[in-house]
Amino acid sequence: MYTYNRFVLPVAVTHSRTGRRKIEHSMITSDNHDEVSIAWRDIVYDVPVAVKPPPKKDGNAYDPEVSKTKRILHGVSGHVKAGEVVAVMGPSGSGKTSLIHVLGGRRETGVTGTFIINGKTHQNTRSLLQDLGYVTQEDVLMTTLTTRETLAYATRLRLAPRELDKSSSRAAAITAIVDRAIDEFDLERAANSPVGVVGQGGISGGEKRRLVIAMECVHKPKILLLDEPTSGLDATTALLVVNKLRSIANGEMGGHRAAVVTSIHQPRSSIMPLFDSAVLLADGREVYCGPTFTALPGGALSEDGIMGWLKDVGYPCPPFESPPDFMMDMINTRVEDEDAPREKNAANAAHDAAEGGGQPQIHDRSVVVKELTASWLTSPRRATYLRAGDDIASMDPSRAFGRSSFRRRSNLATWCTRFGALFSRTYVYKLREPSAVATQAVNSVLMPLIIGSIFFDLPLTVSGANDRLSAISLIVLMQSFAAFDQLLLFPKERGLFLHESNGGMYSTSVYYWARTIVESVTIILFAVVCACVSYEMFGLDDSADGRITFYFIITAVTMAGAAFLTMIGSLCKTFEQTNALAVMCLIVLMMFDGNWINRRNIPVYYRWLVEVSFLGYAVEAAVASDFKRHDFTCTARAVEEEGCVPLSGSQILRSLDFDPDMVWPNFWLLFGVTAAYRLVSFFGLHFFWTGQSFKERWAKLFESV
């Protein structure tokens, strides 16, 4: 047996685990609808690969029979019962994260197998969406919000579909839930601190991990899934995090017990006893599934678990070797010596392991993995483990999970609550992100002042008409770039959006419209400021009608430009892609706005671009609105040197191939293209770069209100 008295591991923990195993059957009785047990059987997960198949040996033609998919999980089975913590272990690339994704319903395409939830068979786990907590490996947080604000917004979003205690207001109930979460997860010191980013201030790594877990527990999930929650933490902090998972599973956070499944890369020895069961994976295959250790009085741990099975198949853990380290080193095939011979069989590998004190040689690890997976498939221990999971399948389906344990609000109330929470969160976040507002201020205030000082008080002469055209064209171009920060919007926040929307916190429509309306407020404000500054400095028509028309046109083109940039951002994966594509497209559209080349001189094969250039709509509308109100005279010098002839504004417009009557039609065209860009942006956000298939995203388009 192994003892770990040198680690800080309360004896009560090991004794409580023994007690839980004595009442395993009572854990899954159907009397308690607030608890969930789930078993997964023969889970296979295939993903498409974008590599060319190898050429045939007898020629250069490619072999069409080569598989175009890669198998990530190979018939994995397991289970977790309410009150248990199951660890999914394995080296990098073993399929740990993929299994967590599949269990959490994040991956459906390419997945086969069955899920048994409290006695009822399902093809996926989407029925658990509102009662499931999912913690990703990467922290997806808004860095300028405080810990308390982050929890408050998560609570408002999570509990939006539920009726809360009517003895107090909804806001008071949510505040109470947040305060309790801060206390339970030991976040008091960080409650009013900004989350921040690593290396630039903010809360510590351990506090951040506890915050992320707390966000997924405010709605008291019945099953909690975590992807390497201890990654990047020191050993002591990692132990504290796993102890917190143990408390959640035990129901010590109040309410029901939870079923907890967490992937973990290489835990310290004192963490292992906190797990009821372990699922050990290598190359997507089961190496072991079953109890970790059997707890004995005094804090000792017997070998009647994962280490006992390894000893049975000829791989005992050497003295003074950490069991988790020994397991990971043995099955980690990613560090093989490329120059080592590959001809050894399983018997030779076992012999070398025995000669080396139980530690297999590096070049034998792939052989060891094959031997272990083959041994496990026929092991009596696996049969015993699967029979234990069959208790979940034997539950009475008529009383299985599925009935909500809370009163559900109407769809409209849920949508409005989520919209309000997202609107408030986005507004607060934007106020604390001055860089984006500063960019818009520079483009909409400083640049019009500079351009206005160059084109100041333009004369009503024929030569001045060209300057007016150039000035208006420049302002329209600057306003199309005014909301350049919109390019970053979705590439930057896509991870947060996908995590929260896939978790059922809100639908795409709620997030998109809350974000759009908040952004539109500052866009419209700065557009009006720009229009005021440029109109007065240019000395355009001194009439209320002319001013109002110009303000509307500049505001419309600014909104169109923001929508265009948002669309580009939603369709591209990275900022580099969005930046290159947006600049190229805007320059092309600018070339056909009527200022740089006369429309009559545009080659026939490019004339269609005039019809789709929203910059052209704005320039034509603004120039027509001003020019048709004026007659342009000639200076004495222009008459003498150039033979200038006075022209009416309408004549100049016709020479530019502008229609004087297209002012308001072009305004409505700007309105229309803005709506079209916004619609494309919505679908781009929902369907592009999500890591999910079109079919999966289509199914989620109208779900979760």
3-state secondary structure of 186: coil
Is 200 in the same domain as 133? yes
Is 107 in the same domain as 7? yes
220, part of any domain: yes
Which residues on neighbouring strands pair with residue 248, listed in sequence order? Answer: none
402, part of any domain: no
**Domain of residue 156, residue span:** 2-48+78-397
Tell me which DSSP letter residue 46 carries: E
Q: What DSSP string describes 283-316?
A: TTEEEEEEES--B-GGGEE-SSSHHHHHHHTT-P
Is 278 in the same domain as 147? yes
301, part of any domain: yes
3-state secondary structure of 581: helix
In Å, the largest CA–CA distance within the chain is: 111
Is 199 in the same domain as 260? yes
Please report the sign of the dihedral spanned by the C-alpha atoms of residue 347, residue 350, residue 356, residue 361.
Answer: positive
In this prediction, residue 55 carries a pLDDT of 59
- In this structure, what is the dihedral angle of CA atoms 502, 504, 508, 510, given to the nearest 10 degrees? -150
Looking at 336, 368, 397, the residue that finishes a domain is 397
In this prediction, residue 6 carries a pLDDT of 31
Question: At 670, which amino acid appears?
Answer: L
Residue ranges of the alpha helices (H) in 656-693? Answer: 663-687
239, part of any domain: yes
316, part of any domain: yes
Q: Compute how many other C-beta atoms are within 10 angstroms of the C-beta atom of residue 26.
A: 11
Is 479 in the same domain as 580? yes
12, part of any domain: yes
Q: What DSSP string describes 20-39?
A: HHHTHHHHT-TT-TT---EE
405, part of any domain: no
Q: Which of 101, 46, 325 is nearest to 228 (CA)?
A: 101
Tell me which DSSP letter residue 60 carries: S
Domain with 6 in it: what CATH number?
Answer: 3.40.50.300
Do 628 and 651 form a contact (C-beta atoms < 8 A)?
no
pLDDT tens column, 637-668: 888 888 899 999 999 999 999 999 999 999 99
In this prediction, residue 60 carries a pLDDT of 52
- Give how many domains the chain has, as a whole number: 2
Q: Which of 475, 470, 476, 447 is nearest to 458 (CA)?
A: 470
687, part of any domain: yes
Rounded to 10 deg, the angle between the 462-480 and 508-538 helix axes is 160
CA–CA gap between residue 594 and residue 654 (Å, rounded): 12
Is 456 in the same domain as 585? yes
Is 271 in the same domain as 334? yes
Is 388 in the same domain as 487? no
Q: Which of 402, 419, 554, 400 is nearest to 479 (CA)?
A: 554
Is 333 in the same domain as 482? no
CA–CA gap between residue 136 and residue 540 (Å, rounded): 56
In this prediction, residue 404 carries a pLDDT of 53
Do 108 and 100 form a contact (C-beta atoms < 8 A)?
no
In this prediction, residue 407 carries a pLDDT of 80
Looking at 397, 430, 464, the residue that finishes a domain is 397
Q: Compute how many other C-beta atoms are within 10 angstroms of the C-beta atom of residue 113.
A: 17
In this prediction, residue 430 carries a pLDDT of 87
Q: Rounded to two decimals, what is the model's pTM?
A: 0.84
CA–CA gap between residue 215 and residue 102 (Å, rounded): 21
CA–CA gap between residue 569 and residue 561 (Å, rounded): 12
In this prediction, residue 427 carries a pLDDT of 93
Is 85 in the same domain as 201? yes
Which residues on neighbouring strands pair with residue 135, listed in sequence order? Answer: 226
In this prediction, residue 17 carries a pLDDT of 41
In this prediction, residue 87 carries a pLDDT of 95
* Joined tokens for residue 280: 């050990």
Is 425 in the same domain as 308? no
For residue 343, with 0-12 CB atoms within 10 Å meaning exposed, 13-18 middle and 19 or more buried, which class applies? Answer: exposed
Is 658 in the same domain as 689? yes
Looking at 364, 397, 430, the residue that finishes a domain is 397
For the chain, list residues with pLDDT below 50: 1-31, 65, 336-360, 362-363, 400, 402, 705
